[in-house]
Amino acid sequence: MGSNKNILVIGGGIVGLSTAYFLQKEGHRVTVLDKSDITSGASFVNAGYITPSHIIPLASPGMISKGIKYMFDSSSPFYIKPRLDMEFMKWSWYFKKSSTKSKVEKAMPVIMDINLLSRELFEDIKASGDLGDFHLERKGLLMMYQTDKERNHEMEVAKRAGDLGLEVSHLDANGLQKLEPNIELNALGAFHYECDRHTTPTQFMERMLGFLPKNGVAINKNEEVLDIVVNGDRVAEVKTSKGTYQPDEVVFAAGSWTSHLSKKLNIKLPLQAGKGYRINVADTTNISMPAILMEAKMAVTPMNGFTRFAGTMEFSGINNIIRKERVEAIAKGAEQFYKGLKISNEDKENAKCGLRPVTPDGLPYIGKSMEYKNLIFATGHAMMGWSLGPATGKLVSEIISGKTMSMEITSFAPERKF
């Protein structure tokens, strides 16, 4: 393989930037394009978790009936906006087909493996000093519950995680309060996944955007792909709002927008945008542990300089509309678990959202296109995009450089059958 290729990465989120990071280490010439100014979106508003513990794909048994129950309540944690849209209906059908016990069983170890690979790569990037001393903490993640129903549900997951070799322990209300001593909790207990880590995404993204251009990667912002020209089984040209590229290899890492790009090549990629919201609280909350509040279906992360409250999965197409009732539900959920916590109206007003690319089976699309030899997909990470960014970037760089893969990626085949 000629090592020095000219590569165009479309998408400047965590996956696109991680891809550029590992490709430049291999000596390739890389250009990253993004239609935004790379200051917002899913890579900036996520909960910052690196989560080997999230072994259950979103498409798991019972999710569809939950979705239908929640469908008409726009403040519910899992909201599907009712709409007659063929693509969405097809995706929903595939999602239903993927939500079987046996498919979920098969997906678990694969999801765990790619998460562990990514956790190691986050540690490597930190150790390399490339991005300076960015925030990466090893406190684990608490799955906090207020009811026996959620405890019993999580106990099953914890048992499976333990069987797969992940470190997890159970805390009663007392033990939990000891671990989070500076704020009074309203919870029965928690499962503590010591295997997990957390970061401050905005900081990591800024550092990455600082490092890459200094190391030869061109980052072209506010540039949109208009047309893709093919020649036989290759992508020959990418035309944008600012110019034309003739790359050796093209990587589609545009998150929820990847299905739009694929359409330009007549590739139907089943992918739906799952909107998530976040509220940042700069005032001291006294929260020191990352936690998922199970009944409220939301995440809490102490980050550098603020505490982040994040959550919801809203399927309403590609848009950045902030639904106030959903922001309200996140604030309320947090206040129900942490006594005395008050999230101000100003913090709620400043809520932001991001779109996560969700595949029907909860496994990402990572790999070569079947149609075009020089096209690679890197998207579809659903709620684990942050966690899986570095692993995806590394795997893409191995595909392009013809190196031995860090892990088996057949399960991630972009044009797999559902």
pLDDT tens for 43-65 read 999 999 999 999 888 888 887 77
Which one has a higher pLDDT value, 67 or 417?
Answer: 417
Assess whether pLDDT exceeds 80 at residue 109. Answer: yes
Q: What is the largest CA-CA distance in the chain?
A: 65
Measured distance CA(361)–CA(95) in Å, rounded:
6
Residue-averaged pLDDT of the chain: 95
In this prediction, residue 1 carries a pLDDT of 45
Assess whether pLDDT exceeds 90 at residue 375. Answer: yes
Q: What DSSP designation does 268 have? A: -
- Token pair, residue 364, equals 């990402």
- Using only the alpha carbons of the chain, give its radius of gyration: 21
- At residue 84, φ and ψ (nearest 5 deg) are -95, 95
Taking residues 380-391, report their average pLDDT: 96
The 3-class SS string of 27-42 reads CCEEEEECCCCCCCCH
pTM over 0.85: yes
Check: CB of residue 321 under 8 Å from CB of residue 81. Answer: no
In this prediction, residue 277 carries a pLDDT of 96
In this prediction, residue 83 carries a pLDDT of 80
Q: Is 289 helix (H, G, I), strand (E, B) or coil?
A: coil
**pLDDT band per the 50, 70, 90 thresholds, residue 69:** confident
In this prediction, residue 62 carries a pLDDT of 80
Taking residues 281-306, report their average pLDDT: 96
Assess whether pLDDT exceeds 70 at residue 2. Answer: no
* Lowest-confidence region among 77-86, 156-165, 171-180, 382-391: 77-86
How many percent of the chain have pLDDT more than 70?
Answer: 99
Assess whether pLDDT exceeds 80 at residue 391. Answer: yes
How many C-beta atoms lie closer than 10 Å to residue 96's C-beta?
15
DSSP per-residue codes, 108-148: HHHHHHHHHHHHHHHHHHHHHTTT-S--EE---EEEEESSH
Residue 418: half-sphere exposure toward Cβ, Cα within 13 Å? 24
Residue 79: half-sphere exposure toward Cβ, Cα within 13 Å? 20
Assess whether pLDDT exceeds 90 at residue 85. Answer: no
Taking residues 119-138, report their average pLDDT: 97
Measured distance CA(349)–CA(278) in Å, rounded:
11
Residue 224: half-sphere exposure toward Cβ, Cα within 13 Å? 5
Q: Is 7 helix (H, G, I), strand (E, B) or coil?
A: strand
Taking residues 180-203, report their average pLDDT: 97
Q: How many helices (DSSP H) and strands (DSSP E) are in the chain?
A: 12, 21
pLDDT tens for 335-352 read 999 999 999 999 999 999
How many percent of the chain have pLDDT more than 90?
Answer: 90
Nearest Cα neighbor of 85 from 273, 261, 362 is 273
In this prediction, residue 267 carries a pLDDT of 96
Assess whether pLDDT exceeds 70 at residue 224. Answer: yes
Which one has a higher pLDDT value, 100 or 79?
Answer: 100
Measured distance CA(271)–CA(364) in Å, rounded:
10
Q: What DSSP designation does 255 have? A: G
- The CATH number of 6-412 is 3.50.50.60
